[in-house]
Structure 1
């Protein structure tokens, strides 16, 4: 079927038509014209990881793509009927994609393409200038959603997920009186106490990596009632066996120890990077090595972590370095450098 009911609406840029279309039909008629060195085309080069991500997401029983795919179609391929429908020629590559190329390619590469009806908005007889302008406006005016808000919304979900587990830990840490992070996390990316130096989003994003390298895949598998694949990560086994309380306790012991060994640095985030993104990221990155030793010794207590970070403190002294931005800058290279120094404390 290639005859569709549509809604016509007008904006300063022109007249648009909105309709619902099977993803399989969109996949057939679409044409993606990538920008080349000769100045032709409007679309970016395909991001294969993004397409693969969307393909996997299509396995989610709650998968949804409610935002419209934007197309440009010439009149020669359209027939507007008197009954308020439009017939679109059933022919390959007659519709230029202005927005949504990765969505439709990801859906097309999945095994679930026939499950999706997609909202489509198209403009007819658009010039190349109009196509380029619409594409640039759509992609330059989008507001990025705070990662902290995204992770916070995982709490609304009834089913477990790595993201929800880590969010709950973050929220508890920010409230508990005996937590070194009490009022120290910027929940929803803002607020917090006077010493708040780490966003909820950063806290969760890093912590999730100790559970799984594929949190979205885990979420989909949990929804589908499938077994979770084993990964060689510190908290993977605990999560798969519903032992979130163990994860909570170990992480609490870890950061209590850090805050006690580096009391001044922890309590002065305006001077030290320890409780900021760089310091926190380095601790999480080094944790698998720390965990390995603790597991071998059957000791993941606060005292074990205190001994580890006391050794780390001596290493910093030997290297004549301090936990400040003078020695450790604000990019991932410094996270790695600092994590390597921490790992030396357990070898």
Structure 2
């Protein structure tokens, strides 16, 4: 028997017993009953990407799992005394998971040397029927509100270490705050709209910029690696000021804020690496260079693509690439 001190707490639906157990001692002794496998299963099928992400995260030096794994305990495997919770060593499986399957699966893919350093908060519940188990599962999972991705990106500002996410966060914040920036008061910081002019979420801005920086053979990555973040910021300013000028000076049917919404902004940003590469070959990445490209863009494509989302982003990007080929610089 392994013994663990526990804390008991009562709630209207059940009594719970919580204790800490080292990860290697518990994670391989918990069953996962999936709805797709049996009539008394309550769990969803596992999301392999989520499992891999958790496993990769747990391999980092600052990894934490502060939230509990909730387990429906098998009473023949666990004995409660006045002071301890005693777990039998004779049984391979001691209970099944009500909440936390992806954390446990991620832990199973973590090297043993790291697992030894992790203590888990385990909450046991005893003697409840399948319906009660399902009630616990659905209550926990259906009432969760997903954290805003804009808030997640905003929290990167708290990280003392340099990262692409933090750099992109700092760029979008400064562009939104700068009265001379084309993005001034156009960004929904933390995903919440405060000003009527705000049309693009913080997360949408960062998502597309990150994809462009991370793209294979990106012409922007060198500026990040050399810590020349001001150059990245200036390139974005030059590009979108040029769009504003070109949209005014050409005959076209684009709404004036089209490129400050997700589809328009995304299409331009997906093409930004190619535009910068073309400009660098000519040794010209000025606002004037960008304006020549977008003047040609509006001449070749005077109306926006139909639809929204990724298909329209791709259409915008392809039209910009065509304009690059046609532009005489």
1:278 corresponds to which of 237, 253, 263 = 263
State the alpha-carbon separation in 2 of the partners of residues 248 and 33 from structure 1.
50
Matches for 1:313-328 after TM superposition, within 5 Å: 313-317=298-302, 322-323=303-304, 327-328=305-306
CA spacing shift, 1:80–1:247, aligned 2, 3 Å: same
Aligned residues: 320
The DSSP-based 3-state class of the residue aligned with 2:160 is coil
Q: What is the aligned partner in structure 1 of residue 234 from structure 2?
A: 249
**Largest Rg, 1 or 2:** 2
State the alpha-carbon separation in 1 of the partners of residues 154 and 118 from structure 2.
28
Matches for 1:117-196 after TM superposition, within 5 Å: 117-196=119-198
User: Is the 2:165–2:206 contact (alpha carbons within 8 Å) kept by the matching residues of 1?
Assistant: yes
Q: What is the aligned partner in structure 2 of residue 66 from structure 1?
A: 66
CA spacing shift, 1:270–1:295, aligned 2, 3 Å: closer
Does structure 1 residue 103 correspond to structure 2 residue 103? yes
CA spacing shift, 1:107–1:89, aligned 2, 3 Å: same
Q: What is the aligned partner in structure 2 of residue 80 from structure 1?
A: 80
Q: Which runs of 5+ in 2 are unaligned?
A: none
Q: What is the aligned partner in structure 2 of residue 346 from structure 1?
A: 324
User: Is the 1:72–1:98 contact (alpha carbons within 8 Å) kept by the matching residues of 2?
Assistant: yes
The DSSP-based 3-state class of the residue aligned with 1:71 is strand
Give the drift of 1:192: 4.2
Q: Which runs of 5+ in 1 are unaligned?
A: 214-230
CA spacing shift, 1:271–1:290, aligned 2, 3 Å: closer
Does structure 1 residue 55 correspond to structure 2 residue 55? yes
Does structure 1 residue 290 correspond to structure 2 residue 298? no
State the alpha-carbon separation in 1 of the partners of residues 291 and 74 from structure 2.
69
Give the drift of 1:57: 0.7
Give the drift of 1:37: 6.7
The DSSP-based 3-state class of the residue aligned with 1:36 is coil
**CA shift digits 1:184-233 (9 cap, x unpaired):** 111111244321101111111221122236xxxxxxxxxxxxxxxxx522
The DSSP-based 3-state class of the residue aligned with 2:175 is helix
The DSSP-based 3-state class of the residue aligned with 2:181 is coil
Q: What is the aligned partner in structure 1 of residue 292 from structure 2?
A: 307
CA spacing shift, 1:291–1:92, aligned 2, 3 Å: farther
The DSSP-based 3-state class of the residue aligned with 2:86 is strand
CA spacing shift, 1:194–1:41, aligned 2, 3 Å: same
CA spacing shift, 1:42–1:187, aligned 2, 3 Å: same
The DSSP-based 3-state class of the residue aligned with 1:177 is coil
Give the drift of 1:298: 2.5
Q: What is the aligned partner in structure 1 of residue 20 from structure 2?
A: 20
**CA shift digits 1:284-320 (9 cap, x unpaired):** 1222322332232232221111111111101213xxx
User: Is the 1:23–1:108 contact (alpha carbons within 8 Å) kept by the matching residues of 2?
Assistant: no
The DSSP-based 3-state class of the residue aligned with 2:301 is helix
Return 268-277 or 148-157, whichever deviates more: 268-277
State the alpha-carbon separation in 2 of the partners of residues 301 and 346 from structure 1.
15
The DSSP-based 3-state class of the residue aligned with 1:115 is coil
The DSSP-based 3-state class of the residue aligned with 1:262 is helix
State the alpha-carbon separation in 1 of the partners of residues 121 and 54 from structure 2.
17
Does structure 1 residue 43 correspond to structure 2 residue 43? yes
CA spacing shift, 1:41–1:241, aligned 2, 3 Å: same
User: Is the 1:183–1:192 contact (alpha carbons within 8 Å) kept by the matching residues of 2?
Assistant: no
| RMSD over equivalenced CA pairs, Å | 2.2
The DSSP-based 3-state class of the residue aligned with 2:44 is coil
